[in-house]
Amino acid sequence: MDILRFTTAGSVDDGKSTLIGRLLYDSKSILSDQLEAIKKSTKNNGNGEIDFSLLTDGLRAEREQGITIDVAYKYFQTSKRKFIIADTPGHFQYTRNMVTGASNSNLSIILIDARNGVTEQTRRHSIISSLLGIHNLVICVNKMDLIDYSETIFNQIVEEYRTFASKLDLKEIEFIPVSALVGDNVVEKSDRMPWYKGKSLLHYLEEVQVKTGSELNFSRFPVQWVIRPGNNGYHDYRGYAGKIISGIFKKGDDVFVMPSGFNSTIKAIEIFGKDVEEAFAPMSVILHLSDDFDVSRGDVIVKKDNKPKVSTDFEAVVCWMDTRPLKKGNKYFLQHNSRLVKCVVKNINYKVDVNTLDKLKEIDSVNLNDICEIKIKTASPLSFDGYKRNRANGGFILIDENSNITAGAGMIKD
């Protein structure tokens, strides 16, 4: 049974947490003790109906304010598929949390309040989904019960969104009119909207085919730890531990160690002390090479027939997450898989206007939640792929040298 990882996004109070709660409740994916706790909390709040948002809003501050702050992960399955949900905040100041939740997702659900239509946050979340390589979007036009299930208003929102989305790299967009509060078109088709001929949300999620497997040709193994016991029985043991982030490795494969470029072959693959013939992403393994090289944490073992680019200079699209602005000449730590290097921002190429998608040039600084393209120079070479070709080896984060906070999330351009 395969797994679909999806994220939810949208403007504040669009009903993301309520939608997920309703999805879990109507699909009978809530444990009895969870349901009792939610009913108790609802009763204490003086509301006669179940507040489904409490299933994902776990922090006290979230419950008190009625908003989502942190990313909440939920797991459930049906007879057809397993699901991992990342419920992300809608507030502007928590856009960076949406980047976190979407970074490992295959599909995005973006909610639109039927009363408000397409908003700036709708556009921002759509842009981020596109940049993160999520090509499948479900646009849930929520709160249809508050507009008397109007087909006209739904069609107007669809048309407005299609006009905007035509400028983005999105492969498939599905539009579903829903009411998360009462359950219309969430798990079962609603008879209140006979004009809608499509599937319910759950039915669509069970059957949608997302783009997967495109990274099989990019075999990448960042070394996290060099194992050299040096004790009795293990005098000659040298293993390289880490997680295969993309592709497949087999015993006997010709490989290169990047960025040095040393060539060798895989002598053995070890998982939990047992030798195996092959391993693939996202397995954690120990690789043994036929030759003894100076291999360190941060080096990348790759197959001979498809090597990454090695450079100290590259361009990247960055979602800025720091309250302190990004400026030309700023220095940061750059974390790329297991490799940590110093870097400097050589130039800000442009900033994206989220309303028009125009590229604003001659920019002096980039502020919190802005999306931009920059040029970066690192103190030592990186082995990377373009993000659109291989998400696993094309992303990085920028870390403030003083506070160690994550300042930005970047996607390397091809």
What count of Cα atoms within 13 Å lies in the side-chain half-sphere of residue 51?
Answer: 21
Q: Is the pLDDT of residue 131 over 50?
A: yes
Q: Which CA distances in Å does 317 have to 218, 323, 371, 396?
A: 21, 18, 7, 10
**Quick one: pLDDT at residue 61?**
40
Higher pLDDT, 374 or 51: 374
pLDDT tens digits, one per residue of 88-106: 765 555 556 667 777 778 8
CB contact at 8 A, 172 and 137 = yes
pLDDT tens digits, one per residue of 352-364: 988 788 999 999 9
Q: Which residues is 366 bridged to in the sheet? A: 326
- Other C-beta atoms within 10 Å of 231: how many? 8
Q: Which CA distances in Å does 131 have to 67, 158, 249, 277, 358?
A: 26, 21, 29, 36, 15
Q: What is the residue extent of each domain of the chain? A: 3-207, 220-303, 309-412
Closest CA to 241 of 258, 221, 256: 221
CB contact at 8 A, 344 and 376 = yes
Running DSSP on this structure, what letter comes out for residue 291? Answer: S
Q: Is the pLDDT of residue 242 over 50?
A: yes
Same fold, 3-207 and 309-412: no
Q: What is the pTM of this model?
A: 0.82
Superfamily of domain 220-303: Translation factors (2.40.30.10)
Mean pLDDT, all residues of the chain = 87
Question: At 17, phi and psi to the nearest 5?
Answer: -65, -35
CATH of 3-207, one of 3.40.50.300, 3.20.20.70, 1.10.645.10, 3.90.105.10: 3.40.50.300
pLDDT band at 63 (very low <50, low <70, confident <90, very high): very low
Token readout for 40 is 């108790």
> Domain 309-412 has what CATH class?
mainly beta
pLDDT tens digits, one per residue of 209-235: 876 555 778 999 999 999 988 677 677
Q: What does the angle CA 121 – CA 122 – CA 124 come to, to the nearest 5 degrees?
A: 60
